[in-house]
Chains A and B, each alone.
Chain A
Amino acid sequence: MLRSRVIPCLLVKNNGLVKTVQFDQPKYVGDPINAVKIFNEKEADELVVLDIDATVQGRDPDYDLIKNLAAECRMPLCYGGGVKSVEHFKKIISLGVEKVAISSAAVHEPELIARAAEIVGGQSVIVVLDVKKKRFGSKYEVYTHNGTQASGLIAADFVKKCESLGAGEIVVNSIDHDGTMCGYDHKLIEQVRSAVSIPVTVLGGAASLTDMKNLVDRFEPIGMAAGSLFVFKGKYRAVLISYPNQTERDEVVIRKRI
């Protein structure tokens, strides 16, 4: 039985891990390599690492960092940040990464999805969409450049385009719920999930395994990514890496049928 995936999502800024709230107030979380090593030892399902500076600073992916992170992963790794060309895809995959994520590049040059899929296979082309609820109505708009530039694209429509171009997975990241630990945005997930038949992963707002269980009950199978949940603890938001063990995960990742 295919299990839904529980996925830590780590953000890298200036070589260090950070965690944001609604894409603002980055709090320093520490060294990425050791964090990845710990998640690997906890046998995490999968890992997403996003360099949130690369596009804004107009620089290429940090290949040394990617290589070092990949060396610590005995589970699939998805890397994103500054990826703009098929060459980037090929180079990153050759360093031992299974999936490469694009965000701004997908919005500004969607054909990159198709070109990359042709070379590395669609399963390795992941589109990450940062979205915010539009002020009026129930739809969500895609943003780029760390949530600062509105693209004018509606998430539920754009994901269909990504799928038709050959993307292997959509990661939808709720800017409104980011870092708030107030729960996932079910309305957003409903809109995106029903628009495509490729795997969907959601990020933003997870506060507990119960949030994840609710998602599985409603949308299984689904990828469930979280940042704060696996990196902070308690009322002082103390930095401490945690991740459910296999038994705790098995309670959550398959919908129980009565």
Chain B
Amino acid sequence: MATVCSNCVMDTTDSMIVFDENGVCDHCNNFYEHTLPNWHTDERGQKELDALVAKIKVEGEGKDFDCIIGMSGGIDSSYLTYIAKEKLGLRPLVFHVDAGWNSQEAVNNIEKLVDKLELDLYTEVIDWEEMKDLQLAFFKSGVSHVDTPQDHAFFATMYKFAEQYNVKYILTGANLSTECVRNPIEWMYYQSDSVQLKDIHSQFGTKPLHNFPVTSILRHKLYLPYIKGIKVVRPLNSVAYVKEDAIQLLIERFGWQPYPQKHFESRFTKFYEGYWLPEKFGFDTRKVQFSSLIVTGQMTRDEALEKLSQPPYDKRTIAHDFEYVATKLGISVDELQEYMDAPNKSYKDYKSQQSIYNVGAKIMKMLGLEVGGKR
């Protein structure tokens, strides 16, 4: 029986969780002590945002677009696209990475936003045969973070494009409002760790990674921002972003289609977060998402506990979803079940650059460059 935080709903399925004398966890305490004081959504946030927007506009003068927005069709990136065009007056290129798992809602949402906001769209389609092989390699490795190939590809592709076309600003929908409490690395190890990706690939992959885009933490935290001057910015942190209001607005204004849970715009991620993680490892990412909403006042703890009492996947459709994932990966349902039943491994079982991440995180926090939650 897991011990649950008395303030949010994180619990001891995060094996690194620490509770204070009031039973409040370190995720919450980190938020109140470190994140909240440095998170400005009022006039200070507006000032920061105005300054940023001015820089982006100057940078984009005479060009077809002044920034790129990483767009998945999910709530965060969709709302960001709307804000960027209508509220901030930017001229973004909407940038979508197709990893082969788009849901119908995702493509509908991208289409609606691009059309109604009259924006240009650029899509990079990942080589599906290589993506499939890499995803299968991750399943075979037994680690929890089997969604790394998708995540890694998203960022690597965007950086590559930005560097190639000299785009200085990448806008992402990452935000504190719904993500201030973050997935522990035990649940989701750093997707940008190329050493781990390559090690798992070399052990379990069968196809060389010719077309698959690979990036690395040093490349995108040091080289790109400091040498090439390419910055990743998170404008949703400077506005009052209330998820339910944002969803309503998008539905009414654009015909945006919602889907059951955060990140479910990708069919794979729906399987990953809704079934693979909770069933195989006992990691329920809803706890992370709801805890973010609790500390930001968008959900009560009781509401969260009520939702958590239901399984994270739909019992009526899970067999069908399971079969679809197996079919897409070119394996049988039995083989996928074997991977589900195999012993659980972690990122520690494979090579990694974790030490660099640890050092980097400390430095960023010291310099006040990182106000996010603990990993």
Instruction: Give me the interface of A with B, judged by CB distance under 8 Å.
Output: 15-16, 28-31, 33-34, 37-38, 41-42, 68, 71, 233-236, 238-242
B45 at the interface (CB under 8 A from A): no
Main secondary structure, interface of A, reads mixed
- B46 interface hit (Cβ, 8 Å): no
Contact across chains for A38 and B104 when beta carbons are under 8 A apart: yes
Task: Assess the B122–A240 pair: CB atoms within 8 A.
Answer: no
> Which residues of chain A come closer than 8 Å to B108, judged between CB atoms?
42
- Is B246 at the interface (CB under 8 A from chain A)? no
B121 at the interface (CB under 8 A from A): yes
Segment among B35-43, B94-102, B145-153 that sits at the interface with chain A: B94-102
Which residues of B lie under 8 Å from residue A33 when comparing CB positions? 327-328
Contacts A31-B100, A34-B101, A34-B267; is A240 near B327 (CB within 8 Å)? no
Which of B100, B101, B123 contacts A238, CB < 8 Å?
B123
The minimal Cβ–Cβ distance linking A241 to chain B, given in whole angstroms, is: 5
State A235–B118 Cα separation when bound (angstroms). Answer: 12
Nearest Cβ on chain B to A216's Cβ, whole angstroms: 23
Q: Is the CB of A239 within 8 A of B114?
A: no
List, in ascending order, chain B residues with CB within 8 A of A16's CB: 127-129
Contact: A234 with B100, CB < 8 Å? no
B170 within 8 A of A: no
Known: A31-B328, A38-B102, A41-B104. A238 touches B129 (CB 8 A): no
**A242: contacting residue among B111, B122, B327, CB under 8 A:** B111
Across the interface, do A68 and B327 meet the contact criterion of CB distance under 8 Å?
A: yes
Q: Given A236-B121, A242-B111, do A28 and B267 touch, yes or no (CB 8 Å)?
A: no
Q: In the complex, are the beta carbons of A30 and B111 less than 8 A apart?
A: no
Asked if residues A30 and B107 are in contact (CB atoms below 8 Å), the reply is no
The answer, yes or no, to whether B335 is at the interface (CB within 8 Å) is no
Contact B102 A236 (CB under 8 A): no
Complex Cα distance, B111 from A44, in Å, reads 17
Residues on B with beta carbons closer than 8 Å to the beta carbon of A240: 96, 98, 107, 110-111, 114, 121, 123
Report, nearest first, the 5 A-B pairs whose CB atoms are least far apart: A41-B104, A238-B123, A238-B121, A31-B128, A31-B100
CA distance A241 to B96 in the complex (A): 12
Cα-based distance from A220 to B132 in the complex (angstroms): 43
Residues of A within 8 A of B111 (CB): 233, 240, 242
Whether, in the assembled complex, B120 has its beta carbon less than 8 Å from a beta carbon of chain A, the answer is yes
> Closest B-chain residue to A39, C-beta based?
B104
Q: Which residues of A contact B107 (CB under 8 A)?
A: 38, 240-242
A17 CA / B101 CA spacing, docked (Å): 14
Q: Is the CB of B100 within 8 A of A233?
A: no
Instruction: Collect the chain B residues with CB atoms within 8 Å of residue A242's CB.
Output: 107, 111
**Is there an interface contact between A238 and B96, defined as CB atoms closer than 8 Å?**
yes
Q: Which residues of B contact A28 (CB under 8 A)?
A: 125, 127
Nearest to A236 among chain B residues (CB) is: B122
A77 CB, min distance to chain B CBs, angstroms: 16
List the B residue with the shortest CB-CB distance to A40. B104
13 contacts between A and B (CB under 8 A): A15-B129, A30-B98, A30-B125, A31-B100, A31-B132, A37-B104, A38-B104, A38-B107, A41-B103, A234-B120, A235-B120, A240-B110, A242-B111
19 A-B pairs besides A29-B125, A34-B102 with CB distance below 8 A are A30-B125, A30-B128, A31-B100, A33-B327, A33-B328, A34-B328, A37-B324, A38-B102, A38-B104, A71-B327, A233-B111, A233-B114, A238-B96, A238-B122, A239-B125, A240-B98, A240-B110, A240-B121, A242-B107
- Complex-state Cα separation, A37 to B122, whole angstroms: 22
